[in-house]
Amino acid sequence: MQKYAAEFIGTFWLVLGGCGSAVLAAAFPDLGIGLLGVSLAFGLTVLTMAFAIGHVSGCHLNPAVSFGLWAGGRFPAKDILPYIVAQVLGGVAAGGVLYLIASGKAGFDLSAGFASNGYGAHSPGGYSLQAALITEVVMTMMFLIVILGATDKRAPQGFAPIAIGFCLTLIHLITIPVTNTSVNPARSTGVAVFVGDWAVAQLWVFWVAPIIGAILGAAVYRFIGREESVS
């Protein structure tokens, strides 16, 4: 149960820190942190938790990462479901805490999006479903390549959390205008359930695309990262 509790806490921190920065601080009058600040917040949640719980659970914090690590031969199939349950529950718990905080401000309105992911009319930049699918698949694929490479036993030891955290920051810098950036079904679910309506209706994209991308990333890394035999 320690592993599952660690995934719950880690995903709670990711959603509270990342989505919290978007909801509470991104457009704060005059001194809002903006897109750059939100991107850094998501990266920092992963970086800090990787150091805190990486040795306990592997610090997946993301159903797509769990699937990708399984596809990459780094994670047992029997643990996928309990990890995902812990991650989603952690994300929803964080969404609940964020709702309690955000709704304490006069004029709070869930229809503003509550950091939910979306496409079409609900994409920050008005991007289409096709654009959203391509974005989420490709970015999650690259995320898994970085995760698998940084945690490879041949990679410099002790630096993986930094590489992974900055990779997530970069992904957000690129894709917030397209989908509000998911690459993580638990992150998407954690806030979508409070918005309901369109956020839940579009949630399937942010489960299907990241998981496909993660499995593709694992396949790519298995090819480029395999050890060559020495004759």
| Predicted pLDDT at 229 | 58
Number of Cβ within 10 Å of residue 29's Cβ equals 5
| Rounded distance between C-alpha atoms, residue 47 and residue 38, angstroms | 14
In a domain, 229, yes or no: no
Number of Cβ within 10 Å of residue 157's Cβ equals 8
Cα 77 to Cα 36, 183, 189, 224: the distances in Å are: 36, 21, 22, 23
In a domain, 91, yes or no: yes
In a domain, 230, yes or no: no
Residue with tokens 């990241």: 210
Cα 6 to Cα 38, 58, 98: the distances in Å are: 24, 9, 20
Find the range with the poorest average confidence among 29-33, 140-144, 147-151: 29-33
Indicate whether 231 pLDDT > 80: no
- Is there a contact between 131 and 178 (Cβ–Cβ < 8 Å)? yes
Cα 199 to Cα 28, 41, 78, 114, 188: the distances in Å are: 23, 22, 30, 10, 9
Amino acid at 106: A
Question: What is the count of structural domains for the chain?
Answer: 1
In a domain, 228, yes or no: no
- Is there a contact between 213 and 161 (Cβ–Cβ < 8 Å)? no
Range of the structural domain that residue 42 is part of:
2-223
- Is there a contact between 90 and 7 (Cβ–Cβ < 8 Å)? yes
Cα 219 to Cα 34, 52, 123, 125, 214: the distances in Å are: 35, 28, 29, 31, 9
- Is there a contact between 35 and 22 (Cβ–Cβ < 8 Å)? no
Q: Is the dihedral of CA 83, 85, 87, 90 positive or negative?
A: negative
Write out pLDDT tens, residues 190-229. 999 999 899 999 999 999 999 999 999 999 999 998 876 5
Write out pLDDT tens, residues 78-118. 999 999 999 999 999 999 999 999 999 888 888 777 999 99
Average pLDDT value for residue range 151-172: 94
Q: In whole numbers, what is the pLDDT of the chain averaged over residues?
A: 93
In a domain, 180, yes or no: yes
Residue 175 confidence class, pLDDT cut points 50, 70, 90: very high
| Rounded distance between C-alpha atoms, residue 124 and residue 84, angstroms | 27
Helix axes 205-224, 129-150, angle to 10 degrees: 40
In a domain, 42, yes or no: yes
Cut 0.95: pTM above it: no
CATH at residue 210: 1.20.1080.10
| Predicted pLDDT at 152 | 93
In a domain, 173, yes or no: yes
Tokens of 30: 């005059």
In a domain, 190, yes or no: yes
